[in-house]
Structure formats: C-alpha cells, structure tokens
Amino acid sequence: MDPGLPTGAETGPVVSTDWLADRLGHPNVRVVDCRWYLRPFDLRNGDDEYARAHIPGAVHLRWDTDIADPDRPDLWMLAGPERFAAAMSARGIGDETFVVAYDDQHVTVAARLWWALRVYGHTAAAVLDGGIAKWAAEGRPLDDDAGAPAPARFTPRRDNRLYATKQDVMAALATDIRLADGRMAAARAADGGAIPGSIALPGIEMIGPGGVWSHPDEARSRIAAAGGAVGEPTIAYCRGGVGACGTALAYAIAGQDDVAVYDGSWTEWITDPDAPRVLDQP
C-alpha cells in the first residue's frame, strides 16, 4: 500500500466526500460505482445511470453478475476466488489499491462490495458516506467517460470468518451467536417469517439525512435498542445477501468489523424444509 494512503483500518468503513475529493485521481485509489436497482420497485438501470454520469475515474461493477457465482444464479452468491480476482483486476484493483465504493442508497450494494473485498482479504476499502447523491449535491464534478484502467494484480486471500453458510447459521442456533436480520419491515412481513432468535436490524435504516451513515455512538445505541451488542459474535442475513452487508457495515461503523454475512440468506434458508423458522416477526 502506498505510504501516503491509509489502510481500511485507519479510515474506518466509510470515508467522506472531502476525503475522496482530496485523493481523486490518485493512482492507488480506485472508485467503484455500484449502483443497482431492485425491480419492480425501481425501474432504473445501474449501467445506464453510470454511463450518464459518475464520479470521475470511477469504474462500474454489478454485484449480481460481475462478482456473483454463475453456478448459483438463483441466489446471486459471491463468486469464487478466480472469478472475483478477475473482476477486480479488470477494474484496475490490485493488492495495493484503496477501494472506495459508492451507490445512491437505493439498496446497500456499495456495502456488498466492501464486504466482498474483505472476504477476500482486501481490507483497504471503504464506502463513500452519502454516496453519489451527496457528492453531486455538493457541486463536485461528474463525468460520463467510462475509461479503461490498466489491469492490476489482485490476490484473493479468503477470510472465512466474514462469510457464513446455511450450515454455519444452523449451528449458530444452538449457541450465543447473535443473528441480525437486515430485511426492512416490509420485506420481513412479505416473507412471512424469520430465523429463530434473530433481531431486526436493517443497516439501510442507519442512513440519515443527506445519506450520511449514523455516527458510531448512534450506531451502537441502535444496535443495543434492537437487542444486539457490539462485540458479540454476530451473523447478519437478509433476503438475498445485500441488505445484510449494510447491517455488517453498520456494525463496523459502531466498532465491530467481524460480523459475518449469511450469503444465501432467507432465499436459501426457506428452500430447506428442515431449516427452522418463526412466523412472528423479529
């Protein structure tokens, strides 16, 4: 890592627009536009939004194709190491690159990339606080040039502590591991159930006015109010693995950066008739 750049541990899980503006164009900073929209709730297309205007120098990445496992198209689970490394390399993200991911907070897809990078051992990553909306509202530059960064060498170093499987969650039910449900209330109600013992903690609800994430003290308070505690072993889940990454990001803001994400989440859980569930909402 360039000695002039901090590590992810030094910046924290989010960086400000000022922070990024001061480093925009740095050869070892790669900005990634992660915009993606959940249909039919939003009919926009992330590729089109990127092509129309993005932060200068940003590359575009789709969580549901570029870094998803093509052998599990029903679940959009995280790609294996070779596919993930190829996606990073093609976007100029190497072992020495500091990654700043952003979205427009329709869903927490920037947090998905932040989490995925850390699963593969790349901790020099953060989410842009306020996303592109805050950047634009402050009158900062936008661009429509896609560019073509030179390929970089990305070495995946899997950290399984941050990744939970269905078997991990099943085993956790008999322990004191906390399960945090990252689905919003409407999604939980539509799904009609939850994993037993889980608390309701949508990470996206910790985004406040101006798209800014909660202050660490507020994040800790909200986690406690939901029935969790910073520092206890925790696995986050949601409907499809994205909202849970927002919950993991909220925990990291609060000071706990080792929350695992159940990648298959509720979509996989309900396909197993032996997986327990409760009908009462958490």
Provide the annotated active-site residues: 238
SS (H, E, C) 137-176: HCCCCCECCCCCCCCCCCCCCCCHHHEECHHHHHHHCCCC
**DSSP-based three-state secondary structure for 92:** coil
**CA pair distance 26, 57, nearest whole angstrom:** 10
What residues contact residue 149 under an 8 Å CB cut-off, 6+ apart? 30, 59, 91, 92
Distances (CA, A) of 30 to 59, 125, 267: 8, 9, 32
Instruction: Classify the C-alpha dihedral 12-7-17-79 as positive or negative.
Output: negative
The label of the residue with tokens 């924290």 reads 12
